[in-house]
Amino acid sequence: MIRLHRLTGTLAAAAICLAVAGNSHAQAISFTIDGLPRQALILAPPNASQSTKRLPLLFAFHGHGGNIVQTAVQMRFDKVWPESIVVYMQGFPTPTNGDPGGMEAGWQREPGQYDDRDLKFFDAVLAKLSKQFPVDEERVYATGFSNGAIFTYVLWGARGNTFAALAPVAGEKLPGVHLTVPVPFLQIAGQQDTNVPFQQQLESIAAAREVNGTSRSGHSCGEYCTAYDSTRGAPVIAFIHPEGHVYPHYASEMIVDFFKQHTRSKPAAR
């Protein structure tokens, strides 16, 4: 695993490009947020900055101990949705129960934690990309795995009006996160998950259904999949697979298919 100290300041953009399967359009960008060095990896279509069309923007967040190179290779959103601008943001050393010394990179779990360092980082990246590329403000999306999925919930609570749809994988909403804005939502969860206990994920899906005004009972949308219609144009999809704390190999295709159905101004009818 490539640790944060090797990624921040020492990994040149060219090396990152090679690491993400030779994508010649990969770009590493650096920020200083409240004195902290931060880095993001941008994978955009060729000549995206000169595009006459507005392009969707997808944020993807790694789990605790992850990094932008590993996550870009695993999630491969630039291959699944080549018309989009994809950004992988690098977390910062963060203490957890399993990592009390905070040796590995992660994300804030609730608004206000760590002086909102990661929310500020998100704001800075969004502002920069909106200037650099013709970003479609009605098609901004976020997903993440594990701690990155938990941060996706944080973004919903703190920046809900920004997003057209959200799709956490193996994550939960912590008590300090308050959801008030309906947003189309897909959660992928494993019944055998013990890292982020399955019951807590179910409770988080229930919270999403409440704010989105969904029906009491759902209908099947395929194997392991239940869809809940919304009176607020913000359906909830719960994909409950029988595995544990994993990012399923099919998750990226499922997430992109869901995102493509939704814009912020025109939610998809179901």
Looking at the predicted structure, is the pLDDT value of residue 110 above 70?
Answer: yes
Domain count, the chain: 1
**Mean pLDDT throughout 4-22?**
48
Does residue 174 lie in a domain region?
Answer: yes
β-partners of residue 143 are: 60, 167
**Residue 189, C-beta contacts closer than 8 angstroms, at least 6 positions apart:** 169, 170, 198, 201, 202, 205, 238, 239, 240, 241
This prediction's pTM: 0.92
Does residue 211 lie in a domain region?
Answer: yes
**pLDDT for the residue numbered 15:** 47
The whole-chain average pLDDT of the chain stands at: 91
Residue pair 11/28 in contact by the 8 Å Cβ criterion: yes
**pLDDT for the residue numbered 170:** 98
The DSSP secondary-structure symbol of 268 reads P
**pLDDT for the residue numbered 270:** 44
**Residue 35, C-beta contacts closer than 8 angstroms, at least 6 positions apart:** none
**Mean pLDDT throughout 225-245?**
97
Does residue 267 lie in a domain region?
Answer: no
pLDDT tens digits, 35-55: 999 999 999 999 999 999 999
Does residue 13 lie in a domain region?
Answer: yes
How far is Cα 45 from Cα 172, in angstroms, rounded to an integer? 32
Looking at the predicted structure, is the pLDDT value of residue 11 above 90?
Answer: no
pLDDT tens digits, 58-98: 999 999 999 999 999 999 999 999 999 999 999 999 998 88
Domain CATH for 115: 3.40.50.1820
Does residue 265 lie in a domain region?
Answer: no
Does residue 154 lie in a domain region?
Answer: yes
* Angle 85-89-93 from CA coordinates, rounded to 5°: 175
Domain carrying residue 31: 4-260
Does residue 171 lie in a domain region?
Answer: yes
**pLDDT for the residue numbered 22:** 59
Does residue 92 lie in a domain region?
Answer: yes
**Pairing between β-strand 135-145 and β-strand 105-106 as defined by DSSP bridges:** unpaired
